[in-house]
A and B are shown apart, each in its own frame.
Chain A
Amino acid sequence: QQPVQSPQAVILREGEDAVINCSSSKALYSVHWYRQKHGEAPVFLMILLKGGEQKGHDKISASFNEKKQQSSLYLTASQLSYSGTYFCGTESDDYKLSFGAGTTVTVRA
């Protein structure tokens, strides 16, 4: 079953922060985050493992609450290059990933 992402879209000005949420109805082993620019392939950002700590990638970080089966992606001091669609992927069975519908982030100057 696919995870649910919120919000569907967010518009930011450069320097502003945003949070994207991902929740699943199944117990999760790991959560993966990706960014996809229009017309391009998704790019893997980070993985959060069950029992692991919060991860970071430049000014993009994420957390994973195993008990609530939720993950959040934090965009801090957003830059124009952060624009794109962000997907979470959840792994509940070995090696099998399910993706959310995506959150479109638009960063304006």
Chain B
Amino acid sequence: NAGVTQTPKFQVLKTGQSMTLQCAQDMNHNSMYWYRQDPGMGLRLIYYSASEGTTDKGEVPNGYNVSRLNKREFSLRLESAAPSQTSVYFCASILFGSSYEQYFGPGTRLTVT
């Protein structure tokens, strides 16, 4: 996936632990997104940032916080992990406009025990 990186690729947490998922893009896109994908299901929007300095809730924001650190980076934080947050997390960046572009990162597989 061109230009969107995510770390870590895999993570196992115990209930109640916290962690931050990192996402960075080098394509100068304004908009960045965090999704979760549960087995056999589509993507659900957690939070998004339409532009640097703004963040908004998506469909399933409870239990998460985000930071748009700068134009390149958009992080997702789980303050107190729960087993229901076991999922694959994808970050995406989008360039809206006449030259529309959209790319996803490779994903982070998170297991909460």
Contact = CB atoms under 8 A, between A and B. Distances in A.
Interface of A: 2, 32, 40-44, 47, 87, 89, 94-102
Nearest to A97: B45
Interface string B85-103: 0000010001010001111
Taking residues whose C-beta sits less than 8 angstroms from the other chain, chain B's interface range is 20 to 34
B42 A41 contact: no
Contact of A95 (B41, B50, B107): B50
A29 to B, nearest CB: 11
A97 B45 CA distance: 7
Interface of B: 1, 31, 33, 35, 41-45, 48, 50, 56, 58-59, 90, 94, 96, 100-107
A47 B106 CA distance: 21
Contacts of B41: 101-102
A32 B42 contact: no
